[in-house]
Amino acid sequence: MKIPINTPVIGREEINEVRSILVEKSLTTAANVGGKRVQEFEELLASYTGSRYAIAVNSGTAALQAALYALDIKQGDEVLIPSFTFVATANAVVSVGARPVFVDVLSSNYTMDPEDLRKKITKKSRAVIPVHLYGNFAHMNEISEMTNKHNLDVIEDAAQSLGTTYKNKQSGTFSRLGCFSMYAAKVVTAGEGGAIVTNEKVLYEKLRKIRNHGMLHGYDTQILGLNLRLPEMSAAIAKIQMKKLPKLLKKREKNSTILTELLSDLNIILPTERAGVKVNWYLYTISTKNRDKLASKLNAKGIGATAYYSTPAHKTPFYNSKTNLPVTDWAASTVLSLPVHPLVTDENLHYISKIMHQITRK
């Protein structure tokens, strides 16, 4: 039995939509407004998130980069980010000339620790990028209170949290800009893709230029921009995926509930939802001191258990930071994600539980 950690849920609708684009030969456009499917996807995403505007780009990294450009983050600025996340968050900061300042996370849900954030704000601080890791919701109330006090901008890295809500409000909408990813493994995929949501018209118009070499009409570059456009085929897939999202999230929630029940008697830390939060269950992440041994044995049995961010961003060779982040170090050595994506069956879940019990009892 093979159970991958994540598998795109692609059906006939996505295939037919891509086929129609190939027939039309409408692969992309340099128009400021984007192609037909790009616009349709943006409308669906804006409506789903309750945002006034959505801007599609070609990756989650591009979304972060465009958001930083839109807020004029530049050389000499400091941007506070968690280290316990995919390195794209840090790389986007460096790409605009700013310096990432690494912040520790909370052991309860692996998101930014507001208290450690407070300690690391300086006169050079310009922005904060909290990450809603694994689909968990960062403590945005505390973070926003602190950033408002110090007049700092906030960009939410919601790459993993489309469908996660706090008090029925979508993650990524608790700040001026929220960035999403449609990478192949995400809850909604475009193969590769990303998007930014905002309620500010000025930022929306600026972002549409940034994704298109700063152009509004043809070769009239007005601000610094890059080719961050989302191709029509990717947008077509994402458009269909958005329509399926509620059903996909419901299956993830069901699988996570079942797995929690099956594993509740083991001596491991299981993921939970805090009050007011509805998690999208992008990744079902446990914590155990015997992580590497457990992962190896699960993999040998065909279960795609994966340790995401076992090397935090600040410890990668490029950053090589000596910042002391004790909870980040603990999480990096203990977390393990188990498959709960929509193609995981009840039989798969019971098999995962059976193998987990066999391993942990030895």
pLDDT at 218: 87
Work out the average pLDDT over 85-102.
98
Q: How far apart are CA 272 and CA 269, in angstroms?
A: 9
Report the 10 Å Cβ neighbour count for 56. 32
No. of helices (H) and no. of strands (E), the chain: 11, 12
List, for residues 200-242, the tens digit of each pLDDT value: 999 999 999 999 999 999 899 999 999 999 999 999 999 999 9
CA distances from 72 to 153, 216, 281 (A): 10, 19, 33
Sign of CA dihedral 62, 67, 70, 75: negative
Q: Which domains does the chain have, with CATH numbers?
A: 12-240 (3.40.640.10), 245-360 (3.90.1150.10)
Q: Does residue 303 sit in helix, strand or coil?
A: strand
Please check the confidence at residue 361 and state whether its pLDDT lies above 80. Answer: no
pLDDT in tens, 253-266: 999 999 999 999 99
For range 100-121, the mean pLDDT? 98
pLDDT tens track for 271-302: 999 999 999 999 999 999 999 999 999 999 99
Query: What's the pLDDT at 42?
Result: 98
Q: What is the pLDDT of residue 71?
A: 98
pLDDT at 335 > cutoff 80:
yes
Residue with tokens 């982040």: 325
Q: What is the structure's pLDDT at 215?
A: 95
Q: How far apart, in whole angstroms, are the C-alpha atoms of residue 155 and residue 25?
A: 36
* Kind and range of the H or E run holding 329: helix 326-334
Q: Check: pTM over 0.85? Answer yes or no.
A: yes
Q: Which residues contact 151 (CB under 8 A, 6 or more apart)?
A: none
